């Protein structure tokens, strides 16, 4: 009796590179197709091992991409930009900067840190503690200013929101810019 199997040319490594975006989007379908082709004898086991190794390598590289989450809010001539990087499942690194959008240079004085941050449950807002040391400087048009301080936070089971607040004076006028970030947006 004749076999109804059809011979399929084995995959080459160059074919794998061409189809890698398809594989990363449709992993379940690709694995199922590979099993069927192996059972029918259309693909040699050596090629399957190489293909599996490359898929595992590709999946491992994708999971290590750790782009920081950035959120910003503007108030008059200033924009508060907060960057959050997930270090571990329950640990984040927070950095911030202030962008001046005015047309002429201004003098400003800020607290330490420039942007305070605290984690909270989303129901009651925690106190953000500052030390008003009075660090002063001058900001030029479109200048980005950062105090260079990164803070690492341990996220507890009840923490839902990262509260941030910039507190400073510009031309002797007090400024407060608040930004709340839902922790679900980060992961």
Interval 60-83: pLDDT, tens: 655 445 688 999 998 888 999 999
Give the containing element (helix H, strand E) for 62: helix 45-63
Residue-wise pLDDT tens digits, 105-118: 888 888 888 888 88
Average pLDDT, the chain: 76
Give the Cα separation of 152 and 87 in Å (integer): 9
Per-residue pLDDT for 9 more than 90?
no
CA distance 52 to 21: 15
Residues 41-61 have pLDDT tens digits of 666 667 767 776 767 766 665
Q: What contacts 93, CB < 8 A, 6 or more positions away?
A: 84, 85, 87, 150, 151, 152
Cα–Cα distance, 169 to 27 (Å, whole number): 54
Q: Compute the average pLDDT of residues 20-35.
A: 55
Looking at 15-19, 70-74, 138-142, which range is the least confident one? Answer: 15-19
pLDDT at 121: 86
Of 77, 122, 73, 113, nearest to 95 by C-alpha is 113
């Amino acid at each position: 009796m004749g076999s109804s199997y059809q011979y399929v040319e084995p995959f080459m490594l160059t074919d794998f590179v061409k189809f890698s975006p398809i594989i990363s989007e449709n992993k379940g379908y690709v694995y199922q197709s590979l099993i069927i082709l192996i059972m029918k004898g259309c693909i040699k086991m050596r090629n399957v091992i190489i293909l599996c190794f490359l898929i595992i390598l590709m999946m491992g590289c994708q999971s290590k991409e750790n782009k920081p989450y950035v959120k910003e809010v503007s108030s008059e001539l200033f924009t508060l930009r907060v960057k959050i990087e997930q270090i571990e499942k329950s640990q984040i690194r927070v950095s911030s900067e202030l962008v001046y959008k005015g047309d002429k240079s201004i003098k400003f004085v800020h607290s330490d840190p420039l942007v305070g941050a605290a984690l909270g449950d989303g129901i009651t807002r925690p106190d953000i503690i500052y030390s008003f040391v009075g660090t002063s400087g001058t900001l030029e048009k479109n200048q980005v200013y950062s105090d260079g301080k990164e803070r690492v936070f341990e996220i507890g089971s009840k923490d839902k929101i990262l509260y941030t607040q910039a507190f400073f004076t510009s031309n002797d006028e007090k400024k407060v810019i608040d930004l709340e970030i839902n922790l679900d947006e980060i992961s």
